[in-house]
Chains A and B, each alone.
Chain A
Amino acid sequence: MIKLTGLIKRYPGRTVTANAVDGLDLEIPEGQLVSLLGPSGCGKTTTLRMIAGLERNNGGIIEIDGTVVSDPARRIFYGADRRPIGIVFQSYAIWPHMTVEQNVMFPLTVGRRKIGREAARRRAREALDMVGLADFATRPAPDLSGGQQQRVALARALVREPKVLLLDEPLSNLDKGLRDRMRDQIREVQLQLGITTVFVTHDQDEALAISDQVILMNRGHIVEHGKPQEIYTFPRSEFTARFLGVSNSLDGVATDVTEGHAVVRIGDAELKCAQAEGVRAGDEVSVFLRPESFRLSRREGMWPGTVEFSIYGGDCWDYHVRVGETLHRVRVYQEKVGLKKGDAVFLTPDQDAAIVVLRNSDAVPVVKTAAS
Chain B
Amino acid sequence: MATLLETPPSTDATKPPVNARLGWRRFVNGRYITLTVASILVAYLALVPVCTMVYASLQSNFLGIGGSHWTLGNYSHTFSEPGFWPLVANSFGYAISTAVVCIVVGFGLAWFVTRTNAPFKGFARAAALVPMIIPGVLNTIAWSLLLSPEQGPVNQALRKIGLPAFDVYSLHGMIFVQAMHVVPIAFLMGTAAFSAMDSSLEEAAMASGASPVRTFFTITIRMVRPAILSAALLMFIQSISTFDVPQLIGVPGHTYVFVSKIYAALQAFPADYGTVGVIGVFVLVIAVVGLVLSRRASRGAAVQTITGKGFKATVQDIGKWRWVGFALFVLFFIIAVVMPIAMLLWSSLLPGYEPPSLHAMHDLSFKNYSNVFHRPVLMKALRNSIIISLSAAIIVTALSAVVAYITVKTKIVGRGVLDTLATIPIAVPSIVMGVGILYFYLSAPLPVHLYGTFAIMIIAFVTITMPYGMRYVVPGMAAIKDELEEAATSSGASWLQGFRRVFVPLLMPSLLASFLYSMIVSFREISAAIFLYTSGTEVVSVQIYDLFRNGTYPVVAALGIVMVIFLVILVAVMQGLSRIFGIKQRH
Contacts and interface: CB of A to CB of B under 8 A. Distances in A.
A86 interface: yes
A93 B483 contact: yes
A76 B20 contact: yes
Contacts of A54: 486, 489-490
B5 A93 contact: no
A74 B491 contact: no
Contact of B487 (A76, A84, A93, A195): A93
Contacts of A113: 5-7, 492
B584 to A, nearest CB: 6
Contact of A163 (B1, B20, B483, B506): B1
A284 interface: no
Interface in A278-301: none
B549 interface: no
B501 A106 contact: yes
A143 B490 CA distance: 24
A75 B21 contact: yes
Nearest to A108: B5
A277 B494 CA distance: 51
B119 interface: no
A75 B20 CA distance: 8
A112 B492 CA distance: 8
A68 B16 contact: yes
B64 to A, nearest CB: 51
B375 interface: no
B586 interface: yes
B1 A76 contact: no
A66 B493 CA distance: 23
A76 B9 CA distance: 11
A87 interface: yes
B23 interface: yes
Contact of A84 (B2, B5, B16, B481): B5
A160 interface: yes
Nearest to A30: B1
B3 A77 contact: no
Interface string B564-587: 000000000000000000011111
B501 A63 contact: no
Interface string B480-511: 01011011111111100110011001100000
Interface string A166-210: 100000000000000000000000000111000000000000000
B484 A95 contact: yes
B10 interface: yes
A89 B487 contact: yes
A140 interface: yes
A83 B487 contact: no
A140 B585 CA distance: 10
Given A75-B23, A93-B481, A65 B8 contact: yes
A254 to B, nearest CB: 47
Given A54-B490, A162-B5, A89 B20 contact: no
B11 A67 contact: yes
Nearest to B3: A161
A111 B587 contact: no
A140 B494 CA distance: 24
B22 interface: yes
B4 interface: yes
A80 interface: yes
A342 interface: no
A112 B486 contact: no
Contacts of A110: 488, 491-494, 497-498, 501
A97 B21 contact: no
A78 to B, nearest CB: 5
Contacts of A160: 5, 491-492
Nearest to A159: B491
Interface string A75-111: 1111111111111011111011100000000110011
Interface in A211-235: none
A307 interface: no
B18 to A, nearest CB: 11
B163 interface: no
A33 B337 CA distance: 67
Interface residues of B, number: 41
B13 interface: yes
B584 A142 contact: yes
Interface string A100-137: 00000011001111000000000000000000000000
A53 interface: yes
A163 B488 CA distance: 17
A72 interface: yes
A80 B490 contact: yes
B10 A67 contact: yes
A83 B23 contact: no
Interface in B440-492: 481, 483-484, 486-492
A113 B492 CA distance: 9
B493 A111 contact: yes
A78 B9 contact: yes
A195 B4 CA distance: 12
Interface core residue of A85, A92, A96, A194 (most chain B CB under 10 Å):
A96
Interface in B323-376: none
Interface string B141-183: 0000000000000000000000000000000000000000000
A89 B587 CA distance: 15
Contacts of B587: 96, 142
A223 to B, nearest CB: 28
Nearest to B21: A75
Interface core residue of A95, A143, A162 (most chain B CB under 10 Å):
A95
Contacts of A78: 9, 20
A144 to B, nearest CB: 9
A246 B450 CA distance: 76
A143 B11 CA distance: 43
B492 A107 contact: yes
A81 B493 CA distance: 6
Contact of B492 (A68, A92, A111): A111
Contacts of A52: 486, 490
B484 A53 contact: no
A27 B491 CA distance: 24
A97 B583 contact: yes
Contacts of B502: 95
A84 B483 CA distance: 18
A156 interface: yes
Contacts of A80: 486, 489-490
A224 to B, nearest CB: 29
Nearest to B411: A12
Nearest to B486: A54
A111 B11 contact: no
Nearest to A31: B1
Interface core residue of B23, B486, B583, B584 (most chain A CB under 10 Å):
B486
Nearest to A82: B6
A85 B487 CA distance: 11
Nearest to A160: B5
A83 B6 contact: yes
B9 A67 contact: yes
A218 to B, nearest CB: 25
A165 to B, nearest CB: 10
A86 B501 contact: no
Contacts of B490: 52-54, 80-81, 83, 85-87, 157, 166
Contacts of A194: 1
Contact of A81 (B4, B11, B494, B583): B494
Interface string B541-563: 00000000000000000000000
Contacts of B22: 72, 75-77
21 contacts: A65-B4, A66-B8, A66-B11, A67-B8, A68-B16, A74-B16, A75-B23, A79-B489, A80-B486, A82-B6, A82-B492, A84-B5, A96-B583, A96-B584, A96-B585, A96-B587, A107-B5, A111-B494, A113-B492, A142-B584, A143-B584
Q: Report, nearest first, the 7 A-B pairs whose CB atoms are least far apart.
A: A111-B492, A93-B483, A107-B491, A110-B493, A75-B22, A160-B5, A142-B586
Given A86-B491, A91-B481, A140-B584, 6 more contacts: A81-B489, A87-B490, A110-B492, A110-B501, A142-B587, A156-B487
